[in-house]
Every structure is written in C-alpha cells, then in structure tokens.
Amino acid sequence: METEHMNNKEHIPEYYNNLIVSYFSSKLNEEEKATLMKWLHEDKAHKRYFDECHELWLAGQLDWAEINFNAHDGFSRFKKKIEDIEEENEEPGGLYRQFSLSFLKIAAIAVIAFVTGILAWSLLGKNDSAILGMQDISVPAGSKTRVTLPDGTIVWLNSASKLTYANDYNQNNRTVKLVGEGYFKVAKNPDKPFIVNTSNITVQALGTEFNVKSYPEEGIIETTLVEGSVKVNKVNETAKEQNIILKPNEKLTFIKKTGKLFVASDSLIAENTPKTQSDGESRRKEQMIVRTIDPLPLVAWKEDKLIFTGERFEEIKPRLERWYDVTIQVADPEILTYRFKGSFEKETLEQALEALQLASHFNYKVKKNVIVISK
C-alpha cells in the first residue's frame, strides 16, 4: 500500500479497501490508520460503507469460529451475506457498489483461505484450542456494532470497545473479555454460565440482559441489569472473593484505584473522591456500590441514542468524544461543572453542540476532529 496511490483516482477505491481490510486484521501502522480515519471523516457515506464492511467481516469471523464447523454451511451463509449486500448496492443511488464488489472479492478470498485451513486442520485431527486461538472484535471510536456469538448470545459493542473470546467458546465455557462498553442479551444455558471479565471484576449470568462499561481510562466500572439476574465477583487483596447479586433496574458501580473518577451526583462516589490530586489514586478505596436506577438512559446507546440526565460536562465529554470520534478541549474549567439534560439520536456533532449551547452559553470552534470550547 503506497501513499502515491492516493493521487490516482483510479486506485482510490482499491487503496481504501486495502486499508479497511488491514484495519480489521490489525495490520495498519499509525500513518495508515491516520489516513483511514481522515477518509472516514470526510464523508458520512465513507463511514456507512466502513460500517457495512465491518458487519460483513464480523459475521464471517463468527461463522468461521464455530467449533463444530461445517465448511459447506459456513461458506453458504457467508455467500448469502455477500448476495444481500450486492442487492442493496444494485438499487438506484447505490453510491458504493464499486467499493462493495471490490471489498467482497477480498473477503471471498479470505473466507476461502480460512475454510481451506479449517478443512486441513479437520483432516489432520488438529482441534486443539491453542491452534484455533482467540477471536478479537474491535470497534473504532465513532462506531458501534452488533454481533451474535456461536451460542446465540447477542452483543452490542459501543464505540472504542473490544471483545475477546477463545475459538473454543461454548465448548467448555462461555467466557469473554471486555474492554470498553457492551450490552449482552445472553442465551440461556444453565450448564454453562456466561461470564464477562473486565480489568477488575467479573459478571456472571445464566440468561439475562445487562450492560457493562469498563473503559481503561475511567476510574469506575459499571454493571447495569435490565432483565434476569447477574452475580458480580471481585477478588480483593486478601484473596477473599466478594459477590454481589443484582436485581433488575440496579446498577453496580465498582470504584477502581486508578483512572479518572468523575465527581458524580452519587454521594458515595463523591465521598470516595480524593481531596488532593498528588496522591489521590493511591488513597482511593476500592469499593462496590449498588443503586436502583432507570436503566434506559444507560443502555440507550445500543439504539443509537445518547441520553443525558443532568450529568456534568466533565462526565459527558468522554462520551461525546467516543460517540463522534473527536477530541474536545475545554479552555475554562468552569465549563466542566455545567450540567445538561437531553437526548441525541441522529444529530451531527455540530447539532449536538448547538443544543448544548441552549442550556449553557459557551463558544466552540471546530478544527478538523478537535473541538475547542470556551466561555
């Protein structure tokens, strides 16, 4: 992939298709990633095409990962997905028909190679999980996706999130690792509990719907139960396991020793916030807090909605940054204390900022993907 291709319009579609496939395969260097991100921000149609390719890529990965793999059925399902997308692009106004067909050729080559590899392993009798490896599903900032795991569990992944699980998932266990935010609609299987591992806690469910938010830079991990029941486990420093069972409409907040801790309206979290910054993280206590809440605002993101219920801008800021894939710089610290209520669904970044302006007067400037806010 040479950058001079950028100067030749005839090669632009193939060039960006290669960047997209390499991104999904985690093979982009920083310069190539920056080029792809710039292209995605240039036009909403670029972003729609990227999301379409991502859905296809994920669907193919998950089909191939089934432990009782049937090469004929797996390839048939993948082919059907290709045909469906081709039909959509044949409709009038199918702006990216050329892009889609080109990408599908690449994807078809990938699936054929993968099917061939699986058949070879099968013939050689090599079904060891070490060979099969791990599945990583990554969602870039500004995007969201929905995937179905091999056991039928449906997962929505929010912006800047990653889900990891072994290719022998559902054979001996149903364990996944989450970095970021995910909403889980778990397929029932009493013999194999569904477990979500985060950096500090594990969430276990038999059949339920719940949300987990665990971004590394934030000082809390949140588990919100919508339906059913879950058990949240934490092993403390004395090796004693702490278990808390959540009921529907309850949210558990785990306060970490590290990461940004927002001074929320929740009094217990505010009390846990260190008074000084110099040794703040070392003095912070780890603890789990359970509150009865309305889960709708916390899980609305999976329906492409952002809902604010009086949070400070300090807390809203990282959500907006991930949602729109931008960096927000605040010139006056007082702005971080402003509180906002409202919801956004299909608004652009500029429309969202204008709506926030109505609640609290501030000025903003947009410089590419950097937003500067001042009084």
More confident call, 223 vs 263 = 223
Q: Retrieve residue 106's tokens.
A: 């690449």
CA–CA dist 360, 219 (Å, integer): 27
Give the containing element (helix H, strand E) for 74. helix 71-90
- pTM for the predicted model, two decimal places: 0.67
- For residues 78-106, average pLDDT: 50
pLDDT > 50? residue 184: yes
- What b/e string do you get for 263-273 counting C-beta neighbours within 10 Å, with b at 16 or more? ebebeebeebe
Distance CA 306, CA 303 (A): 9
Spatial separation of the C-alpha atoms in residues 110 and 82, rounded to whole Å? 13
125 exposure class (CB count in 10 Å sphere: 0-12, 13-18, 19+): exposed
> Which structural domains are found in the chain, ordered by start?
1-127 (no CATH), 132-297 (2.60.120.1440), 305-374 (3.55.50.30)
Report the C-alpha dihedral over residues 235, 291, 269, 243, rounded to 10 degrees: -10
pLDDT in the model for residue 6: 40
Distances (CA, A) of 319 to 88, 295, 316, 340, 344: 32, 17, 5, 13, 12
Ramachandran region, residue 249 (left: φ > 0; alpha: ψ -120 to 50; beta: rest): left
**CA pair distance 366, 375, nearest whole angstrom:** 15
Q: Give per-residue pLDDT as tens, 254-310.
A: 998 888 877 554 545 555 655 444 445 557 788 899 999 999 999 999 998 999 998
pLDDT band at 161 (very low <50, low <70, confident <90, very high): very high
